[in-house]
Structure 1
């Protein structure tokens, strides 16, 4: 989803993060592009004011506590949060790149060796998450971002402690996205095991290699029926022969018939080595392939840039970039399959499916990476390199400014952009 300007009613800052634009939304919240005082870009998720209640705050607080326990080089880092704020918010690392669904739609399926490299990377990352006593439970192409340093997993809003006696969902409630959901998860079996993430990873790899999912139908409910039907085998058409044994095992109907994540890594290595390549080489080629195609049309830039608004009647600003927008469409295909069952509240966004009961707060599929257009010219203040935090650093506690404290503007370029966007909206506003 392309980056869009802030609406007049949007906050200008949350905690220490200045908000620069919108990068997506879900049924229960909005995600903004933010910037820390040091210039670090962040994806800042906010619960919509219309759904802020004690239940949504509790679920949001649970999501924050889960994210604080997750770390690793393939996981988007937790940067800060405040579940008690008037508008509860959560900030995570912003990954400059498309999600897997968008990449495959735009550039086509990955070659088998790169699909195997992706499988090894993600299986290893999920294995580390499982070691921390957690399951993802909603792994899908939209939740894997292909950044300049390799793929990263996002959106652990449905993650649950595997040994916890406190469930994040009510009895008979099924949460997840049907196109990548394991049969036992779709059937509401509890407790879930690590096999659900193995199945989801298999569905994701099938999509990466072929552009389609194991089960597709006109509606999400029909997909649920296909997934849970033991007599309906997953559609593996188009899958490369060298990946068929791996995908067949990962998409097995019975959880006990699926390989462990350690086995998945080894099978992916075997596919790569059979083609005369080392695993490290394949991983580098994967990143070069995805990042190269994503940034082919424009030079790399170290900071996200908002699309420029249309010219207004105000005097032209000769010290700003041309007002152009080169963002691409981000809808993932097939649309009907990657759109989960809408919650009872009729929220319009692609959030995880909740069936049979009204959901609590779910993480929006809104962290789909924006297509960021680099500026034509840079402000001198942006010339110095930025420091990036280590992937495994401890979470940074959020700090809210005291009442009456002036809001900091962290870069001259951000301030000018915000002023132009507000002017453009004011010119078009009916009031």
Structure 2
């Protein structure tokens, strides 16, 4: 768990949530560990004051409406929000576990049977999302948290209503994360269908079992070129034979050639049952496996992720980044979406086989998290005592919160960790 104390300029409360520490940040905002009046832990996402404008508020409001609409045991629950506040904020269920990207980076890949269990769980969850008229559009390893009760999907900041004619995305814009993006999504084809989430889930499962993405290259532009080129097959090296038919179908270039999510669940079950195991047993083993590896620490070297310099846009292409270049997501944090919005020039969006319109269009790629200065220390409040008001902040309600057991343990770990690092 990567939690650091609040900075002096941080709010101490948002709505009815007391803020206990920082658990992640990005180009668009900051994610805090919060606690409700009743002691419920929450991940509270806040837009940075420097980027609060009408468009960011509108996108944030759309994310809030999406989260109000969807539900399910594999979706991080919506707890509260205020898009009109001076600092717009959104609170969701806090999942105490790493995201899939961090887990694979730290502990290595998943066994094939557990990858199949993960596939069945997430495909079923996405089916529920689609049944509510939504597409996720940005499913990736960083947006799946491996919690103590199993995996959960987070970050619906780019989700779209499939039947809606109202969108914050312009007609010639491409939205998503390139290494997990379906060819038609990368090419700017609209409207998108459920097949884009099938492809993204296939890319996620490929990463879970091999540690690499379907298409990787030195620059974002090259990734876009590989993804949209129908003659370039995805890299399925290292895929166990029993998962090869499933991932081949899910990563098919044509949307019509991919299986439905129901078929994905059935194929995942077949892989599990061929091992003489029931699906419920495999699900339990997946949760136990990830929890056990967390307890025993890293089993694979945590190599740093290189930062790729952004090339200059070509052909008049305008690139607007809506987040950072995808920092490592701390445990439990719904990341501020590190995806990009690409504007493709021309009178009409290109088809999946027509990639020149994307020429020179850079996209966000993973970047190393920034080091946090040790000198920025803040006195921690004692359990049961809310921090005093800071000049310039709204006065807090005159009441006392009873901290949950988890919050007290978190505060104690913070005090112990920072006391050990103190230079005096």
TM range (shorter): 0.7 to 0.9
Aligned to 1:242: 242
Cα distance change on mapping 1:253 and 1:404 into 2, 3 Å? closer
What per-residue deviation string (whole Å, max 9, x for no partner) do you get for residues 161-183 of structure 1?
00001013112111110010000
What per-residue deviation string (whole Å, max 9, x for no partner) do you get for residues 248-278 of structure 1?
0000000000000000000000011111111
Any conservation in 1 of the 2:323–2:340 contact (CA below 8 Å)? no
Rounded to whole Å, the distance in 1 between the matches of 2:134 and 2:237 is 32
Aligned to 2:107: 107
Aligned to 2:378: none
Aligned to 1:192: 192
Any conservation in 1 of the 2:97–2:146 contact (CA below 8 Å)? yes
Rounded to whole Å, the distance in 2 between the matches of 1:86 and 1:53 is 11
Aligned to 2:97: 97
| 3-state SS in 2 of match to 1:45 | strand
Displacement after TM superposition at 1:355 (Å):
1.6
Aligned to 2:342: 355
Aligned to 1:83: 83
Any conservation in 2 of the 1:3–1:22 contact (CA below 8 Å)? yes
Aligned to 1:213: 213
What per-residue deviation string (whole Å, max 9, x for no partner) do you get for residues 33-85 of structure 1?
11112221111000000111122111111110010001000000000000111
Task: Spell out the pairing of 1:9-24 with structure 2 (5 A cutoff).
Answer: 9-24=9-24
Aligned to 2:225: 225
What per-residue deviation string (whole Å, max 9, x for no partner) do you get for residues 161-214 of structure 1?
000010131121111100100000000111100000000000000001100010
2:398 aligned to 396, 402, 406, which one?
A: 406
Any conservation in 2 of the 1:220–1:336 contact (CA below 8 Å)? no
Report how many aligned residue pairs link the two structures: 357
Higher RCO (CA-CA < 8 Å; seq separation 6+): 1
- For the aligned residue pairs, the C-alpha RMSD in angstroms reads 3.3
Aligned to 1:161: 161
TM-score where L is the length of structure 1: 0.76
Cα distance change on mapping 1:151 and 1:419 into 2, 3 Å? closer
Aligned to 2:142: 142
- 1:131 to 2:118 alignment: no
Task: Spell out the pairing of 1:309-320 with structure 2 (5 A cutoff).
Answer: none
Cα distance change on mapping 1:266 and 1:216 into 2, 3 Å? same
Rounded to whole Å, the distance in 1 between the matches of 2:184 and 2:320 is 23
- Gaps spanning 5+ residues in structure 2: where? 327-337, 345-365, 370-381, 385-392
What per-residue deviation string (whole Å, max 9, x for no partner) do you get for residues 336-359 of structure 1?
59x9x99646964521122238xx
Cα distance change on mapping 1:18 and 1:147 into 2, 3 Å? same
